[in-house]
Chain A
Amino acid sequence: MSDSTVSTNGDYVNFYQYKGKHTGILGWLLSVDHKRIGLLYLGSMVTFFLVGMTLGFFMRLELWNPGQDIMGPQTYNALFTLHGIIMIFLVIIPGIPAGFGNFFLPIQIGAEDVSFPRLNLFSWYLYTIGGLLAVASLFLSGGPIDTGWTFYAPYSLRTGTEVIMPLMAAFILGFSSILTGVNFVTTVHRLRAPGMTFFKLPLFIWALYSTAWIQIIGTPIIGITILLVVVERLFGVGLFDPAMGGDPILFQHLFWIYSHPAVYIMILPAMGVVSEIIPTFARKTIFGYGAIAVSSIAIAFVGTLVWGHHMFTSGMSDESRWVYSFLTFIVALPSGVKIFNWVATMYKGSIKAETPFLYVMAFIFLFSIGGLTGLVLGSLATDVHLHDTYFVVAHFHYVMFGGTIFIFFAALHYWFPKMFGKMYNTKIANIALAIMVVGFNMLYFTFFILGYLGMPRRYYDYLPEFQGMHQFATVGSWVMIAGILLMFINLFLGLKNGKKSGNNPWGGMTLEWTVPSPPPLLNFKKIPTVKYGPYEYEHYDEVTNNVN
């Protein structure tokens, strides 16, 4: 074990420097090291994020004036579909688990790697193949898919655009997700360091563990549903098409049985990151460790049962509607537990308002708006009026973008020094965040008002009275994109020219902060023995002086 971490002259060798069987690009493409695979995922996701963001930018440009500006309705339909597919399936769902989870799960539990390293690399290949298929489908004869990312039947059965290839892309991406889930569950059960009981796991691991179970249980359902759509398109079986005796609402059930829990695949890992960052920067034990850990499991479980709230206006039975509405309100409870515990953790803490912490503050503000407007949509009476309006678009961008993506950025800033051993310019990072928050609210809060006034989603045209607000939102999108680009440029410059960060620049207590930055190939010279919980700051010196 120690052979790989120390060179022949006794110097420590990090995982970038380690020379394995392959070097250069093959050293990355054939590596089974969880850290390299995590970085491969992160690189892929940032690339896809920039593509998705560019599509969103052009959608907003089209909406500058009523009527046609820079594209026709068919192109606009294709653009919002691809924006959704890329952002959901290629960025947010794999986002934090596959990227940061791969890099940090083994280190945080005191393991050398995940349980199945080769399967881990295979998952990344599946992810890449799925992504490439989705992009390739744009250039096939039928033209880019225009169904929206939800692929609702019967339209997805009848449209002349290329549907089968993007569906197969989503199918393959699903396999990647399942395999990552299997790997994480097994790793958490079997590779924890001596002394690390379940209730001494960092809360990021609890979140990844809960997420992994949803990935394993939920993803096969969307896989089967996708295959049924393909079979129906190819052979006209009549499963979902009402013209052939099928039931289109059954498609919605099957789609949302996975895709609502997928919302929790997206947000739970982000909540885990928040639970890491707040104690580190408040220098205080997290308030209600057990409650936060168990609330992750509760969210994962109850979140599996609430899919019908996407279908209140679909024509399903009245009994279903109130049952799903009731269950939806229940899921707010464990989410509330987390928010209140985070805030309570900060109470009387010695807060250091560094960049990752500021991102978390932005998250709590934006996610709370997203969560509370979710209650408006979870109520039957109000949802009927707001369904399929910009209000819904605003709600899920506050939750998914203001929630998951902001925490993806927070994680990037929090673990950047550990992953690369260098530090970015924190002042510019804070300015970029401020610009992003202003642009974000200009863009998406306006959507709430537009939706309330009746602006339907997915329309490339609108009534003249909405023009002022559309233009204000579009200017907001420019401000937000400027902030995002500034953030990435700052991180890139930090990667290139940043100062050395040291092993524990933030004063964290979880195990990744006890190993060198960047970590060695197998993470630890000697597998640590865990004596204390992950946030017991009264033992800070003892834990962090025991540097591997």
Chain B
Amino acid sequence: MSHTDTNDGKIAHAHDPRYGINIMIWITLLSLTVITIAVAGIDLGNYTLLVAMFIAAIKSAFVINYFMHIKFEDLLFKLFLVGVILVLLVVFVLTGFDVFLR
């Protein structure tokens, strides 16, 4: 809230870039993408969408936590993220009222 803490750059992110972890996550993401494509070829009936969304959620968690740095941020940013995810869920549910009941 004060001016000094942002203008002089003292609170700039100082965490270790940890390239090793980032590369590991990148490889994990690629693997999950391969799994997504492979699973798409299997007939899972009504579960197809569920499985695809589950894998996508895991991938998102990695991207948000590491590549978008949320894991290293203050509580406030995490709360904002939770709020946004809740809005997304509500949007899914409301759209579902049409898609599944049409």
Asked whether A253 lies within 8 Å of B95 as measured between CB atoms, the reply is: yes
Q: A308 — which chain B residues lie within 8 A by C-beta?
A: 94, 98
Asked whether B1 lies within 8 Å of A319 as measured between CB atoms, the reply is: no
Asked whether A316 lies within 8 Å of B87 as measured between CB atoms, the reply is: no
Size of the B side of the interface (Cβ < 8 Å), in residues, is: 18
Asked whether A217 lies within 8 Å of B6 as measured between CB atoms, the reply is: no
Q: Residues 189-201 of chain A: 1 if any B CB is under 8 Å from the residue's CB, otherwise 0?
A: 1111110000000
Q: Is A317 an interface residue, CB under 8 A from the partner?
A: yes
Q: Is B18 an interface residue, CB under 8 A from the partner?
A: no
Asked whether A320 lies within 8 Å of B6 as measured between CB atoms, the reply is: no
Asked whether B3 lies within 8 Å of A527 as measured between CB atoms, the reply is: yes
Q: Is B39 an interface residue, CB under 8 A from the partner?
A: no
CA distance A217 to B87 in the complex (A): 9
Report the number of A-B residue pairs with Cβ-Cβ less than 8 Å: 54
Asked whether A320 lies within 8 Å of B98 as measured between CB atoms, the reply is: yes
Asked whether A319 lies within 8 Å of B101 as measured between CB atoms, the reply is: yes
Asked whether B90 lies within 8 Å of A305 as measured between CB atoms, the reply is: yes
Asked whether B3 lies within 8 Å of A249 as measured between CB atoms, the reply is: no
Asked whether B3 lies within 8 Å of A305 as measured between CB atoms, the reply is: no
Asked whether B98 lies within 8 Å of A112 as measured between CB atoms, the reply is: no
CA distance A104 to B27 in the complex (A): 47
**Interface size grouping (class) on chain A:** 20 to 34
Q: B102 — which chain A residues lie within 8 A by C-beta?
A: 249, 315-317, 320
Q: Is A323 an interface residue, CB under 8 A from the partner?
A: yes
Q: B91 — which chain A residues lie within 8 A by C-beta?
A: 257, 304-305
Q: B97 — which chain A residues lie within 8 A by C-beta?
A: 317, 319-320, 323
Q: Is A437 an interface residue, CB under 8 A from the partner?
A: no
Q: A319 — which chain B residues lie within 8 A by C-beta?
A: 97-98, 101
Q: B1 — which chain A residues lie within 8 A by C-beta?
A: 189-192, 194
Q: A323 — which chain B residues lie within 8 A by C-beta?
A: 94, 97
Q: B2 — which chain A residues lie within 8 A by C-beta?
A: 194
B99 to chain A, nearest CB (A): 8
Q: Is B84 an interface residue, CB under 8 A from the partner?
A: yes
Q: Is A115 an interface residue, CB under 8 A from the partner?
A: yes
Asked whether A112 lies within 8 Å of B3 as measured between CB atoms, the reply is: yes
Q: Is A179 an interface residue, CB under 8 A from the partner?
A: no
Q: A324 — which chain B residues lie within 8 A by C-beta?
A: 94
Q: Is A111 an interface residue, CB under 8 A from the partner?
A: yes
Asked whether A317 lies within 8 Å of B98 as measured between CB atoms, the reply is: yes
Asked whether B3 lies within 8 Å of A191 as measured between CB atoms, the reply is: yes
CA distance A257 to B87 in the complex (A): 11
Q: A250 — which chain B residues lie within 8 A by C-beta?
A: 99
CA distance A68 to B76 in the complex (A): 60
Q: A301 — which chain B residues lie within 8 A by C-beta?
A: 87
B31 to chain A, nearest CB (A): 25
Q: A318 — which chain B residues lie within 8 A by C-beta?
A: 101
Tell me the chain A residues, 311-344 only, with Cβ under 8 Å from chain B. Answer: 315-320, 323-324
Q: Residues 108-126 of chain A: 1 if any B CB is under 8 Å from the residue's CB, otherwise 0?
A: 0001100100000000000
Q: A191 — which chain B residues lie within 8 A by C-beta?
A: 1, 3, 6
Q: Residues 77-98 of chain B: 1 if any A CB is under 8 Å from the residue's CB, otherwise 0?
A: 0000000100100110011011
Q: Residues 246-268 of chain A: 1 if any B CB is under 8 Å from the residue's CB, otherwise 0?
A: 00011001000100000000000
CA distance A318 to B101 in the complex (A): 8
Chain B residue with the shortest CB-CB distance to A195: B1
Q: A305 — which chain B residues lie within 8 A by C-beta?
A: 90-91, 94
CA distance A218 to B3 in the complex (A): 30
CA distance A415 to B22 in the complex (A): 50
CB within 8 Å for A249 and B6 given contacts A192-B1, A217-B87, A305-B90: no
A303 to chain B, nearest CB (A): 11
Chain B residue with the shortest CB-CB distance to A323: B97
A511 to chain B, nearest CB (A): 14
CA distance A530 to B4 in the complex (A): 17
Tell me the chain A residues, 156-200 only, with Cβ under 8 Å from chain B. Answer: 189-194
A197 to chain B, nearest CB (A): 9
CB within 8 Å for A253 and B98 given contacts A112-B3, A190-B6: yes
Q: Residues 3-38 of chain B: 1 if any A CB is under 8 Å from the residue's CB, otherwise 0?
A: 101110000000000000000000000000000000
B86 to chain A, nearest CB (A): 10
CA distance A512 to B1 in the complex (A): 19
Asked whether B84 lies within 8 Å of A217 as measured between CB atoms, the reply is: yes
Q: A316 — which chain B residues lie within 8 A by C-beta?
A: 98, 102
- Chosen A-B contacts, 10 in total, with CB atoms closer than 8 Å, are A112-B3, A194-B2, A249-B102, A253-B98, A305-B91, A305-B94, A316-B102, A320-B94, A320-B102, A323-B97
Which residues of B are at the interface with A, using a C-beta cutoff of 8 A? 1-3, 5-7, 76, 84, 87, 90-91, 94-95, 97-99, 101-102
Known contacts A192-B1, A301-B87, A308-B94; 12 further A-B pairs (Cβ under 8 A): A190-B5, A190-B6, A191-B3, A249-B102, A304-B87, A315-B102, A317-B98, A317-B102, A319-B97, A320-B101, A320-B102, A527-B3
In the A-B complex, the 8 residue pairs with the closest CB atoms = A317-B101, A320-B98, A317-B102, A316-B98, A320-B97, A319-B101, A317-B98, A190-B6
